[in-house]
């Protein structure tokens, strides 16, 4: 009888040791899954069909280069025709790997601002949207006319207007992000506001 108890005790001890050894692995698997669910930002309770994005993971850097040129009227029509615009560089860091973006700027802080590059309402017959990758540079226009703006290549805006600009960024999945002077301008698009 003692031999059976010793044998049975050894079997139980081995079974329990293996069972308890499995528990930490199970706990890590369960915790790992719950962390992944938390990373999506989706609690499962919403009914939307879009992809939820944590704005904190998406980084955008906009850098203006002021060339120091002063707009001049060279043809006497009281409108500047040279020296308008500066170059701007856009750099996007997206952990999800999105490579195609639409970039826009609206001069919302001026009573008579330029909206021809806003990707939204536009200005008269001008409604440019700069299709860019994750890094892009828009050069200053060669003359001050709105017709000289080329989407994805040049801008009529300049570094001095940066405090009065509202920026727009959209990915190929339909998500959009806004920041800057007056994000309410893009309100009808229901974009996510980015903060510095």
CATH number of the domain that residue 107 is part of: 2.60.40
The candidate with the shortest Cα–Cα distance to 114, out of 82, 155, 143, is 155
Q: Which has more confidence, 127 or 140? A: 127
Same domain, 125 and 147: yes
Is 6 among the domain residues? yes
Same domain, 36 and 107: no
Same domain, 23 and 86: no
Q: Of the given ranges (29-33, 83-87, 130-134), which has the lowest mean pLDDT?
A: 29-33
Same domain, 13 and 103: no
User: How confident is the model over 8-32, as a mean pLDDT?
Assistant: 42
Tally the domains of the chain: 2
Q: Of the given ranges (42-46, 87-91, 171-175, 186-190), which has the lowest mean pLDDT?
A: 42-46
**pLDDT range class, residue 193, cuts 50, 70, 90:** very high
Cα first-last separation, the chain: 76
Same domain, 37 and 108: no
Percent of the chain residues past pLDDT 70, beyond the cut: 62
Same domain, 19 and 90: no
Structure tokens given for 72: 């001049």
Cα pseudo-dihedral 66, 196, 180, 119, rounded to 10: 90
The candidate with the shortest Cα–Cα distance to 156, out of 89, 102, 84, is 84
CB hemisphere CA count around 21 (13 angstroms): 6
What's residue 194's pLDDT?
92
User: How confident is the model over 31-41, as a mean pLDDT?
Assistant: 31
pTM of the entire predicted model: 0.66
Strands 192-193 and 176-180: parallel
Structural contact between residues 159 and 86, judged by C-beta atoms closer than 8 angstroms: yes
Is 46 among the domain residues? no
Is 177 among the domain residues? yes
Same domain, 105 and 129: yes
What's residue 192's pLDDT?
94
Same domain, 97 and 168: yes
Structural contact between residues 155 and 141, judged by C-beta atoms closer than 8 angstroms: yes
Same domain, 92 and 188: yes
Same domain, 111 and 151: yes
Is 48 among the domain residues? no
Q: Backbone phi, then psi, for 171, in 5-degree steps?
A: -95, 175
Question: What Å distances lie between residue 127 and 13, 18, 177, CA to CA?
Answer: 76, 68, 18
Percent of the chain residues past pLDDT 90, beyond the cut: 36
Per-residue pLDDT reduced to its tens digit, 39-93? 333 333 332 222 222 356 889 999 998 877 766 666 676 666 556 678 899 999 9
Domain span at 24: 1-41
Structural contact between residues 79 and 144, judged by C-beta atoms closer than 8 angstroms: yes
What's residue 159's pLDDT?
87
């Amino acid at each position: 009888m003692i031999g059976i108890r010793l044998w049975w005790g050894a079997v139980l001890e081995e079974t329990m040791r293996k069972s308890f050894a499995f528990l930490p692995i199970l706990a890590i698997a369960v915790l790992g899954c719950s962390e992944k669910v938390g990373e999506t930002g989706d609690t499962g309770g919403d009914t939307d069909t879009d992809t939820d994005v944590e704005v904190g993971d998406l980084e955008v850097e906009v850098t203006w280069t002021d060339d120091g040129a002063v707009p001049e009227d060279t043809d006497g029509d009281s409108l500047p025709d040279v020296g308008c615009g500066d170059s701007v560089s856009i750099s996007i860091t997206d952990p999800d790997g999105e490579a195609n973006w639409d970039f826009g700027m609206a001069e919302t802080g001026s009573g008579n601002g330029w909206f021809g590059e806003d990707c939204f309402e536009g200005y008269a017959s001008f409604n440019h949207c700069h299709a860019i990758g994750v890094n892009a540079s828009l050069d200053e226009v060669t003359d001050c006319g709105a017709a000289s703006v080329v989407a994805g290549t040049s801008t009529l805006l300049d570094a001095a207007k940066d405090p009065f600009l509202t920026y727009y960024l959209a990915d190929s999945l339909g998500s959009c992000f806004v920041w800057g002077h007056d994000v309410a301008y893009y309100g009808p698009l229901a974009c996510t506001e980015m903060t510095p």
